[in-house]
Amino acid sequence: MSVRNIILDLGGVLLIDRPEESLRRFDRLGFVEARQLLSPYPAEGLFPDLELGRLSKEECLDLVHRRYGHALTVEDFTWALIGYAGEAELYKLDYLREQLTDCRLFLATNTNAFLYDYYRSPRFLPSGESLESYFERCYASHLLHIKKPDPRFYHLILEENGLDPRETIYIDDREENVRGASQLGMRTLRPMNGSDWRSDLEKLRCYE
């Protein structure tokens, strides 16, 4: 079947993930405990609670203050997290807009309120556009209270938008997320963090 829909992850696919830069920034802010709380793919704790929307920005900063003694602002915390996944690969965004006009595009990201508000702000891209302007709809874990690879995440996107998984390609740099999408019948592509996956996607789109 022809490809009509493409669902893309954000970090590692459209942005370059640099967790060590984020840790260096938290160190500069004095929040050295972040090194034990933030890993490339944490399973539990402060940052996963942010990704699941269990903590608001204010609740997160209050917890950091009470538990670790650091009085950080929203701007501080956002700046540190931008070091992790804040660098957009503009040529990929241009590719979405210029070369994939025949496909419906959706974003599916595990993220948090600090970063997502930044992605939606005029500060994110040189053009001042929001990340959301590149997609028909965006799905973020902290707003859904569900994280990939929970199958409910994928089901929600497919069902709300009437997508046939057989006509859908899912792109993500994490194996478990790709596996979850594949189990629902979607074609999948797993690029390495920061790699140029455009030619691989074109080959996959041409495969019937």
Q: What is the pLDDT of residues 125-137, one digit of tens each?
A: 999 999 999 999 9
The domain defined by 5-16+88-206 folds into Rossmann fold (3.40.50)
β-partners of residue 104 are 5
87: left (phi over 0), alpha (psi -120 to 50) or beta: beta
Superfamily of domain 19-85: Putative phosphatase; domain 2 (1.10.150.240)
Residue length of the chain: 208
Q: Residue 208 has what pLDDT?
A: 59
Residue among 101, 124, 88 nearest 11 (CA): 88
Q: Residue 10 has what pLDDT?
A: 97
Q: Residue 41 has what pLDDT?
A: 63
Q: Residue 38 has what pLDDT?
A: 83
> In this structure, what token pair is assigned to residue 93?
């965004």
- According to DSSP, residue 167 is labeled G
Per-domain residue ranges of the chain: 5-16+88-206, 19-85
Q: Residue 25 has what pLDDT?
A: 97
| pLDDT less than 70: residues of the chain | 39-42, 208
Q: Residue 46 has what pLDDT?
A: 93
Distance CA 54, CA 46 (A): 9
Give the SS3 label for residue 15: strand
Counting beta carbons within 10 angstroms of the beta carbon of residue 111, is it exposed (0 to 12), middle (13 to 18) or buried (19 or more)?
buried
Q: Residue 79 has what pLDDT?
A: 97
Q: Residue 86 has what pLDDT?
A: 78
Q: Residue 16 has what pLDDT?
A: 94
